Structure 1
Amino acid sequence: MSVSATLLALALLLTGRDGGARLARMRVAGRRIDRPLERAQADPLAAASTFDVFAACLSSGMAVSAAASAAAASAPAGLARILTRAADMLALGADAATAWSDPGPPLDDHARALMRLARRSAESGTALAQGVAELAAESRSDAADVVRGAAERAAVLIAAPLGVCYLPAFLCLGIVPVVVGLAGDVLQSGLW
């Protein structure tokens, strides 16, 4: 067996048949969906795109339960759990306050805002689609702020080593020769 075949066999052994992509199998609205497992760093725009899908479904005239079920298929794990739970409860005839109640601790601010918005919409009769679209815009803005902050931190972290390297070189090659040259001229001119 050649070295390359051995390395290929080792790579397949370590990553598995699917090339390292681990899939989560879930059922949404009776259909089986294979999705990649959540990585350590989730997509910061995943919630915004889910809210866009939910708002588009509501704007097209779908029932809230059907729209929530459709949006849950592409949602991040925590948001998918909320949307699936609400869709199932609404389809069974539960009231909106019960369907959109808080299911448990692992929720982010956008998921809580969606549940609050859905409960308020059911109580007051306001359009849920417009509120969800605004929530998507807010989610995108928050993700942009996080990325902008990370870029600014990276710029500072990149500039620090450059300053540590170039400042001594500038002093040694730029300032010190000028000062030594001037000091030599001053000492030779006879001020002493």
Structure 2
Amino acid sequence: MAILVGGAVGVVIGLAVAYGVVLRRRRTKVLAARRAAEAGLRSALAPAADLLAACLAAGAGPREAADAVGRSVDGTVGVQLRRVAAELRLGAEPTAAWQRFGALPGARDLARCMERAGISGAPAVEGVSRIAAGLRASAHRTAAERARRAGVLVTLPLAACFLPAFLAIGVVPVLIGLAEGLMAHN
């Protein structure tokens, strides 16, 4: 920038642009990390929901199911399920305990279903199974989308390398030959 604008003003503008680029990169990295973490949580919810449905089908209540699944699932989902089970065991209201679990990305419907089962005692197997199927389908769509995006991103460097080589080796000699032929006839 100092060369284009000149002097101290160019230096200041260049520093401001560089600072803006650094901030933009940092923000992009933070957003990418947050999206990756949310995608990981969403993909971990599907097997946890399947396990919750299996526990409920076997006759366990919401608290027992949350405890069993929380002990068998790693990561944030397991920790949150163990926390819900502990809070329910200590007498917390199901609404409050499951609401904190529902704050996880993609867990709101599952938390509501388990909360209703804890409050009313109504069977939640069908609802939890349906939610688990939806979570699996969502995880499948996300994985397919990432695979398509990776395919495109892999092709870009190939195009950047092979297109200039094709032009230099295939097209340019033909054009030179045509130009020489036209010049020879004139």
Shorter-chain TM-score range: 0.5 to 0.7
CA distance in 2, matches of 1:43, 1:116: 17
Q: Within 5 A, what are the aligned runs for 1:61-76?
A: 61-76=59-74
Comparing 127-136 and 87-96, the one that deviates more: 87-96
What is the one-letter code of the residue matched to 2:68?
Answer: A
Distance in 1, Cα, partners of 2:160 & 2:96 = 59
Specify the alignment match of 1:155 in structure 2.
151
- CA change 1:90–1:120 in 2 (3 A) is same
Q: Is the 8 A contact 1:47 1:75 kept in 2?
A: no
Deviations 1:155-181 (A, max 9, x none): 222212111111111111111111122
Query: Aligned pair count?
Result: 149
More helix as a share of residues: 2
RMSD (Å) for aligned C-alpha atoms: 2.9
TM-score after normalising by structure 2: 0.65
Unaligned runs of 5+ in 1: 1-39
Percentage identity across paired residues of the two chains:
38
Amino acid at match of 1:87: A
Aligned mate of 2:44, from 43, 46, 53 = 46
Q: Partner residue of 2:57?
A: 59
Task: Summarize deviations over 1:117-176 as a string: whole Å, max 9, x none.
Answer: 222345566531122222222222222233223223322222121111111111111111
1:178 counterpart letter in structure 2: V
- Asked if 1:115 is matched to 2:103, the reply is no
In structure 2, what is the Cα distance between the partners aligned to 1:62 and 1:121?
11
Give the TM-score of the pair, scaled to structure 1: 0.63
Deviation at 1:72, TM superposition (A): 0.8
1:187 aligned partner: 183
User: 1:78-117 to 2 correspondence within 5 Å?
Assistant: 78-92=76-90, 94-102=92-100, 107-117=103-113
Question: Which residue number corresponds to residue 162 of structure 2?
Answer: 166
Could you tell me how far apart the structure 2 residues matched to 1:99 and 1:44 are? Answer: 19
In terms of fraction of residues, the more strand-rich structure is 1
